[in-house]
Chain A
Amino acid sequence: MNALLKNREIWLVGAIAVLIAVIATRFPGFAAPRNLSTVFNDTSILMILALGQMVVILTRSIDLSMASNLAFTGMVVAMINAAYPGFPIPLLILVAIGVGLILGAINGFLVWRIGIPPIVVTLGTLTIYRGATFVISGGAWVNADKMSPDFIGLQRMQLLGLPVLSWFAIATIVLFFVMMTRTALGRSLYAIGVNPTASVYAGIDVGRTKFFAFCISGAIAGLAGYLWISRYVIASVEVANGYELNIIAACVIGGISIAGGIGSVGGAVLGALFLGIISSALPVVNISPFWQMAISGTAILLAVVLNARGERKQGRIILKKAEAAAA
């Protein structure tokens, strides 16, 4: 499987390289390292969200409520900041993660204990969390002028030549990489996605593992809530409306199987980057946003077709010589 996954990621890297090369023919500055680092920074939030979504999709579930969770948490932290400008930012980030985690835990609880299908649960909470955002804000916006300079400024700061926002993304990627490859939880997430029955017999609590997955995606949405608001400096009910589809698209393009059990941190990151490059490059080469949607859609279908081919069963190896050759 490792070889196959690497393969898949190499394909994606290749596709991104081709994409950059094509864009560079019309807009040579695009491929400059400085611009690419800007693209990376612009895609940071999507990458972080895609990683959270990946964990859920691996368990054969889906979290449609991430963007609403993001809007709610973003509104909470913006209102706290507006009311108490002195509230320390690192603590505020922890509040964002905490609030997001609680919303994720609600999803997880409904899936685990009540046994409602994830798509139904999160379709419901998608609306509920968005509605709750309206309730706490009374429909009002929190504008840049109400936010403290620290709140807005943190992620604009540079560290070793990269904006802090990029460092958030890098830290999340590293954290997820360790979690997925080096912890029992990461291993269990894959195992229950591939074969839930066998996982039960191996002593893995499938329901609880799914609960944890939703907690993770919720916490990630919370973190992204702070990052989003402080980047776009406006908190409203409409923040990230419909963005859950971009998150899922990034995962699908990144080779994460909607059927569960297949996917990697690298894939989710590359899938997000692919979308990020399209959305940042097309406007500068004067292609309408509608083309942008069509291109994203085509990329999704292409990714699904390619992945389906990759996952096609190779048949049982019965011949001894084939068994040796397969290694």
Chain B
Amino acid sequence: MNATADIIKPHAVLPDAQPLLTLKGVTKTFPGVRALHNVSLSLYPGQVTALIGENGAGKSTLVKTMTGIYQPDGGEIAVDGKVVALNGAHDAFAQGITAIHQETVLFDDLSVAENIFLGHAPRTGLGLIDWRTMRAKSRAVLNGMGAGHIGPDDRLKDLGIANKHLVAVARALSIDARIVILDEPTAALSAKEIEDLMMLIEHLRAEGKAILFISHKFDEIYRIADRYTVFRDGEMVGEGMLAGTPQNDIVRMMVGRAVDQIFPVRDSQPGDVVLSVKGLSHPTEFDDISFDLRKGEILGFYGLVGAGRSEVMQAIFGTTQTSAGTMTLDGKAVAPKSAAEAIESGVVYVPEERGKQGVIIGMPIFKNVSLPSLRKTSKNGVLQLAEEFSLARQYTQRLDLRAASLSQDVGTLSGGNQQKVVIAKWLATSPKVIILDEPTKGIDIGSKAAVHGFMAELVAQGLSVIMVSSELPEIMGMSDRVVVMREGRVAAVLDNKDLSAETLVRTAAGIAA
């Protein structure tokens, strides 16, 4: 498509505008992951630049690099045209760079004034904190930004999240920040609070601050931003003025990638409905979730972070309680009240973080495998070690686990083999439905292929799989159908035949075609 080529070329910058902050060729690598590659970015005074990209595009790493939390492996950062080294949050602070995060990083038990002036409080002649000046300055800053309803002596924890953001902004103003990064500030705000925040951003812009605005929400981006920068896989793939750039062009930049992963070919013929969810609701997290999962099917769950996918899965697994809705498993109504009940009925959940939520380091392999099946391996309340061993042997052999002995501490295994122990543990409960939450997050490409191959094998054996994933290629490469969630609701259930990445992203972000 011609348009793509045009857009990727940066728009001409106004000749008289000098960028306040520039990143040139910045690269940051973590073991096995290239988080940022040769990234360039410019922020201009009095302009709001929107940073757009899928999950894992490198946005968080970029913010951390700009605020001195991470040091880049290569490239340079310049403020006012002078190259600076940001060797810690303090250096970024000294350069006038400040970030306001989705979850505020302030101190709940301190007063508003203390929060605003923490680290740079005015002192009296004796070196003590000058409370009177601090209160007066706080009031001046808050009044100046139209937030006079917040008092300097209010406890931060008594304020709502929107007001906490205002305090964070006041803090930025009090240190005379010139570069303000807003990292998904609206994620937890109501519509009215978002509007207040937008006014405030306009106020900051009018004061000549250079603003980087990170958001998943296109309506906000078009409402507030002057410029855009699109990231994909740790690279900057396009930038320019937002006015006159259609949403679809930006979506195309976000997803337009070469497919470099090969997924197993499956001859999938899903059978009868195994799990049927109808009208599942939660007071605050999700509403009216309905879908069917068929035998031998991989059902993908796609959505932006915070769309409520994991929360729905936890409800199905019995660890979150629901306010309405029904579930049937093989035609029988189920309402699990605990993980134990869900496992008993044949639903298992392989959580996102293998280390934290999967294996129990310090326990031998066989005890890890038998943990959810202890009822099966005990007789009259006494555990039968021989039974535990044979259960563990049976399933670890099937997965080709490489370990010298099943009595070996699971912590001594490599990551891939630990993953196999986790999967063996769940297979040993003979489940009907297996829910995999971000099954390949943070593992290398070879292990990813192994997990994908294994998923194909699971469904070939008649199991049904729900795969929650934020990775487009994985969703498109593995799913038979995709449930797209947006803001706690099912936005669409799409058949994977002829499904395009753009359709998925548009549906998840709520953009009309």
Q: Which of A194, A323, A324 contacts B360 (CB 8 A)?
A: A194
A276 to chain B, nearest CB (A): 29
Does residue A182 face the partner (Cβ distance < 8 Å to B)?
yes
State whether A1 touches B364 (Cβ < 8 A).
yes
Q: How far is the CB of B87 from chain A (nearest CB, A)?
A: 27
Q: How many residues of B contact A (CB 8 A)?
A: 41
Decide if B82 is an interface residue (CB 8 Å cutoff): no
The answer on a CB contact under 8 Å between A202 and B425 is yes
A73 and B359 CA atoms in complex are apart in Å by 41
Map CB proximity to A onto B339-358 as digits: 1 under 8 Å, 0 otherwise.
Answer: 11011100001010000111
Instruction: Tell me whether A183 and B360 are in contact (CB under 8 A).
Output: no
Residues of A within 8 A of B340 (CB): 203-205
Binds B, one of A81-89, A140-148, A184-192, A221-229: A184-192
A323–B412 touching, CB < 8 Å: yes
Q: Is the CB of B412 within 8 A of A201?
A: no
Q: How far is the CA of A203 from the CA of B340 in the complex (A)?
A: 4
- The answer to whether the Cβ of A316 comes within 8 Å of any Cβ in the partner chain is yes
Interface presence of A327 (CB below 8 A)? yes
Distance between Cα atoms of A228 and B357 in the complex (Å): 43
Contact yes or no, A327 B403, CB < 8 A = yes
Q: In the assembled complex, which residues on chain B have CB atoms less than 8 Å from the CB atom of A262?
A: 362
* Interface majority SS (helix, strand, loop, mixed), chain A: helix
Which residues of A lie under 8 Å from residue B358 when comparing CB positions? 198, 201
Number of residue pairs across A and B with beta carbons under 8 Å? 97
Distance of A326 Cα from B319 Cα, bound (Å): 36
**Residues 308 to 341 of chain B near chain A (Cβ within 8 Å):** 317, 319, 338-340
Verify B357–A201 contact, CB threshold 8 A. yes
Complex: A286 Cα to B404 Cα, angstroms: 54
Do A195 and B407 touch across chains, with their CB atoms under 8 A apart?
Answer: no
Question: Judging by beta carbons under 8 Å apart, are B361 and A195 in contact?
Answer: yes
Contact A323 B375 (CB under 8 A): no
The answer on a CB contact under 8 Å between B412 and A183 is no
Partner of A203, one of B343, B381, B385, B403: B343
Are B362's CB and A1's CB within 8 A?
A: yes
Closest to A326 in B: B412
Interfacial residues of chain B within 367-410, with CB under 8 A of chain A in the complex = 367, 371-372, 374-375, 378, 381-383, 385, 402-405, 407-409
Assembled-state Cα–Cα distance A27/B343 (Å): 61
Q: B145 interface residue, CB < 8 Å from A?
A: no
Question: Hey, which chain B residues are within 8 Å of A261, CB to CB?
Answer: 362
- Residues in B neighbouring A317, C-beta threshold 8 A: 412-414
Complex interface: chain A residues within 8 A of B378 (CB): 183-184
Minimum CB–CB distance for A27 against chain B, Å: 41
Contact B363 A203, beta carbon cutoff 8 Å: no
CB within 8 Å for A198 and B407 given contacts A184-B383, A187-B374? no
* A32 on interface, CB distance cutoff 8 Å: no
A205 touches B359 (CB 8 A): no
Which residue of chain A lies nearest to B381 when distances are taken between CB atoms in the complex? A183
The answer to whether A288 has its CB under 8 Å from any CB of chain B is: no
Report Cα–Cα, A327/B406, bound state, in Å: 9
Interface status of A318 (Cβ within 8 A of chain B): yes
Which of A201, A205, A323 is close to B404, meaning CB atoms less than 8 Å apart? A323
Across the interface, do A327 and B339 meet the contact criterion of CB distance under 8 Å? Answer: no
Assess the B364–A191 pair: CB atoms within 8 A. Answer: no
* Chain A residues within an 8 Å CB radius of B343: 202-203
Q: How far is the CA of A205 from the CA of B367 in the complex (A)?
A: 17
The answer to whether B338 touches A203, judged by C-beta atoms less than 8 angstroms apart, is yes
Asked if residues B383 and A194 are in contact (CB atoms below 8 Å), the reply is no
- B360 contact set on A, CB distance < 8 A: 191, 194-195, 198-199
The answer to whether A25 has its CB under 8 Å from any CB of chain B is no
> Considering the chains assembled together, what is the distance between the CA atoms of A317 and B417 in angstroms?
11
In the complex formed, the residue of A with least CB distance to B370 is A187
A222–chain B nearest beta-carbon distance, Å: 23
**Cα-based distance from A188 to B381 in the complex (angstroms):** 13
* Complex Cα–Cα for A1 and B364 (A): 7
Q: How far is the CA of A326 from the CA of B404 in the complex (A)?
A: 8
30 A-B contact pairs sorted by A residue (CB < 8 Å) = A178-B382, A181-B383, A182-B382, A184-B378, A184-B381, A187-B367, A187-B371, A191-B371, A194-B362, A194-B363, A195-B356, A195-B359, A197-B357, A198-B360, A199-B371, A201-B319, A201-B339, A203-B342, A203-B343, A203-B372, A316-B415, A317-B412, A317-B413, A317-B414, A323-B402, A323-B404, A323-B412, A323-B414, A326-B409, A326-B412
> What is B's interface to A at a CB cutoff of 8 Å?
317, 319, 338-340, 342-344, 349, 351, 356-364, 367, 371-372, 374-375, 378, 381-383, 385, 402-405, 407-409, 412-415, 425
Of all A-B residue pairs in the complex, the 8 with the closest CB atoms, nearest first, are A327-B404, A203-B340, A184-B374, A202-B372, A203-B339, A202-B371, A203-B343, A326-B412
The chain A residues found within 8 Å of chain B, CB to CB, are 1-2, 178, 181-184, 187-188, 190-191, 194-195, 197-205, 261-262, 314, 316-318, 323-324, 326-327
